[in-house]
């Protein structure tokens, strides 16, 4: 890893990112063809937050948050800070003071493959965080890393300027070049879901709405009364 702070990366257009955030992580994930999800281990430390922004990335050494400080300066309004370490690390690399600093710069939230701390303060500040752990264990500021290089969080490559969408379901990353098409896909999908929601409230079944009875038949799924099945079963 070359120790470098990359400056001025192009960013996905913020109005489109905001529209993506409105649809939420699950819908955006669908609109991308079920891709881009950072997995079940990156969890919100608060309840009910739903946001999005453009990624600024920081790659730290385990137990060291020096490069987060370097990354703060590269952040602009509308950004989300995304952090990874070169080795797994659950220490609390981020807390309330860094959140205060990021809020002063208009940053929307944090996504990190590490732990965070001061979570009661973070909730009170209203600065949303998605992390792999909560840990009171602090860090040093002593070893070099990188800012705004591609990093991997939850098996997904995140590049500076990519769109990040995060809510209670977790975090999804949309490549910068795809935000417009994914946004349109999410809009179409949300419309369909709205119609399905009304139908389901009225008692229609997914089996009928999605034509799944034919699928079941094609796959050879039989309907058997309980008594008959119990008899056959061992």
Residues 2-61 interacting with a second copy (rule: CB under 8 A): 2-10, 24-26, 29-30, 33-35, 37, 39-40, 43, 47-48, 50, 61
b/e per residue 86-111 (b: at least 16 CB within 10 A): eeebbbbbbbbebbeebeeeebbbbb
Whichever of 14 and 64 has its CB closer to a second copy, that residue is: 64
Number of residues that bind a second copy (CB under 8 A): 111
Tokens of 23: 């649809």
Contact code string over 105-144 relative to a second copy, x by CB under 8 A: x---------x-xxxx--x---------xxxxxx-xxxxx
Q: Report the interhelical angle of 66-74 vs 96-104 (nearest 10°).
A: 10
Shortest Å distance, C-beta 15 to a second copy: 20
Residue closer to a second copy, measured from CB, 18 or 35: 35
User: 125 with 99: CB under 8 angstroms?
Assistant: yes
Report the C-alpha gap between 80 and 20 in whole angstroms: 14
Angle in degrees, 0-180, between the axes of helices 14-23 and 179-201, rounded to the nearest 10: 20
188 makes contact with a second copy (CB under 8 A): no
Measured from the CB atom, the residue of 18 and 178 that comes closer to a second copy is: 178
Q: Which of 52, 53, 63, 128 binds a second copy (CB under 8 A)?
A: 63
């Amino acid at each position: 890893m070359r120790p470098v702070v990359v400056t001025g990366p192009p960013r996905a257009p913020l109005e489109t990112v905001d529209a993506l955030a409105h649809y939420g992580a699950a819908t955006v994930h669908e609109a991308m063809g079920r891709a881009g999800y950072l997995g079940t281990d990156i969890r919100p430390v608060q309840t009910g937050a739903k946001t999005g922004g453009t990624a600024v990335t920081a790659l730290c050494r385990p137990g060291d948050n020096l490069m987060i400080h370097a990354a703060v300066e590269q952040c602009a309004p509308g950004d989300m800070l995304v952090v990874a370490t070169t080795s797994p690390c659950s220490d609390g690399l981020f807390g309330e003071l860094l959140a205060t600093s990021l809020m002063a710069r208009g940053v929307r939230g944090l996504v990190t493959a590490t732990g965070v701390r001061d979570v009661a303060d973070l909730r009170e500040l209203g600065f949303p965080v998605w992390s792999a752990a909560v840990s009171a264990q602090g860090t040093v500021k002593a070893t070099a890393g990188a800012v705004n290089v591609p990093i991997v969080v939850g098996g997904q490559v995140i590049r500076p300027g990519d769109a990040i969408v995060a809510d209670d379901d977790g975090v999804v990353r949309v490549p910068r070049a795809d935000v417009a098409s994914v946004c349109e896909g999410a809009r179409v999908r949300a419309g369909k879901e709205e119609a399905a929601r009304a139908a389901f409230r009225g008692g229609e079944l997914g089996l009928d709405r999605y034509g799944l009875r034919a699928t079941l038949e094609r796959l050879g799924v039989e309907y058997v009364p309980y008594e008959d099945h119990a008899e056959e079963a061992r």
